[in-house]
Amino acid sequence: MIELHDVDKVFQRKGKITQALKNINLKVEQGDIYGIIGYSGAGKSTLVRLINALEAPSSGRVIVKDKVISEYNAKQLREMKKDIGMIFQGFNLLESKTVWKNVAIPLILAGKNKAFIHQRVNELLELVGLADRGGSYPAELSGGQKQRVGIARALATNPSILLCDEATSALDPQTTVQILMLLKRISEQFNVTLVLITHEMSVIQKICNKVAVMDNGSIVEHGNVLDVFGQPQHPTTLNFVRTLIRDSLPESIEQASNTNQHIRRYRLEFLGETAGQPVIYQMIKTFDIEFNILFASMSEVQDTVLGFMIIQLSGDAELLARATDFLQNSGVRVEELH
């Protein structure tokens, strides 16, 4: 659906050269809800502007629906852009136009007849829960309602791709969840591919199936959300994940010295059904081993439970090895902490 190969983007302004993107390689499959996360200045918005051809890469290739964007002629480029909807952080609604007219604008510009426009706009307002607000003006709406109008407008030309640039950043937490659930329903119902730009890991947690983490113009980590949340590899990713999930000991316990060679600490990861199984109880029952829980947390990612526990086990080396093998064979990921 969307591919970027060895993409660089360099800006030159007033003699100053800034490399916004460095060797970007990314693949978004049809139907993905793909999150791109990074701190301010990481290059997220520049990347999105390459996908909808608002910017051209300095080098490398951007491919949308199996065709390199730079190979499109002007007419083909206009048609391609109709297939890509855009949802903005600031809503970008025309304050002088009603909700109905704001949604109708892309269809009017596309030259659709009045009957088609009337039917399509009414369908979209029904879809986003604003069937009774078509005659209202943006100033009369809440932030969440404005973003629903933005979503309806982005869907007007029936695109197969939706790009969301910080679409929930201006909303309160409850409204954010509602908008994210609406986007997820749209993706599933109409097989729309979503690319979400965000600096909030909670957005990734709620609806994304894949994620790319950006730092200083580069993608430093990417993959399935559960894998990235469960085993973050890059410090930037770890910082983002820890805004939602604690998977390490409090510092006061971490600094406590332990010189007893028969006591070892382990980090356990429980995923899905494993989180609801009594594997710890079964381990204690099976092995004559002293056990202590130092830390535990549980979260839900992509409708899947992800749990972490740090435990302390006491016993001889052979017994500890058998106990941890038991946990691993029961579906628990085990890592010894040194």
Which residue ranges make up each domain of the chain? Answer: 2-241, 251-337
> Is 50 exceeded by the pLDDT of residue 257?
no
User: What's the pLDDT at 255?
Assistant: 56
User: What's the pLDDT at 270?
Assistant: 86
User: What's the pLDDT at 19?
Assistant: 92
pLDDT digits (tens, 9 = 90+) for 131-155: 999 999 999 999 999 999 999 999 9
User: What's the pLDDT at 249?
Assistant: 62
What is the average pLDDT across 161-169? 91
Mean pLDDT rounded to a whole number for the chain: 89
> Is 70 exceeded by the pLDDT of residue 13?
yes
Q: Which of 46-50, 85-89, 91-95, 259-263 has the lowest mean pLDDT?
A: 259-263
> Is 60 exceeded by the pLDDT of residue 256?
no
As assigned by CATH, the class of the 251-337 domain is alpha beta
User: What's the pLDDT at 301?
Assistant: 79
> Is 60 exceeded by the pLDDT of residue 259?
no
Question: Three-state SS string across the chain, please?
Answer: CEEEEEEEEEEEECCEEEEEEEEEEEEECCCCEEEEEECCCCCHHHHHHHHCCCCCCCEEEEEECCEEHHHCCHHHHHHHHHCEEEEECCCCCCCCCCHHHHHHHHHHHCCCCHHHHHHHHHHHHHHCCCCCCCCCCHHHCCHHHHHHHHHHHHCCCCCCEEEEECCCCCCCHHHHHHHHHHHHHHHHHHCCEEEEEECCHHHHHHHCCEEEEEECCEEEEEEEHHHHHHCCCCHHHHHHHCCCCCCCCCHHHHCCCCCCCCEEEEEEEEEHHHHHCCHHHHHHHHCCCEEEEEEEEEEEECCEEEEEEEEEEECCHHHHHHHHHHHHHCCCEEEEEC
> Is 80 exceeded by the pLDDT of residue 124?
yes
User: What's the pLDDT at 116?
Assistant: 95
Q: Which of 55-59, 195-199, 275-279 has the lowest mean pLDDT?
A: 275-279
pLDDT digits (tens, 9 = 90+) for 208-232: 999 999 999 999 999 999 888 888 8
User: What's the pLDDT at 27?
Assistant: 95
What is the average pLDDT across 265-291? 85
User: What's the pLDDT at 108?
Assistant: 93
CATH 3.30.70.260 fits 2-241, yes or no: no
User: What's the pLDDT at 271?
Assistant: 83
> Is 80 exceeded by the pLDDT of residue 107?
yes
pLDDT digits (tens, 9 = 90+) for 22-35: 999 999 999 999 99
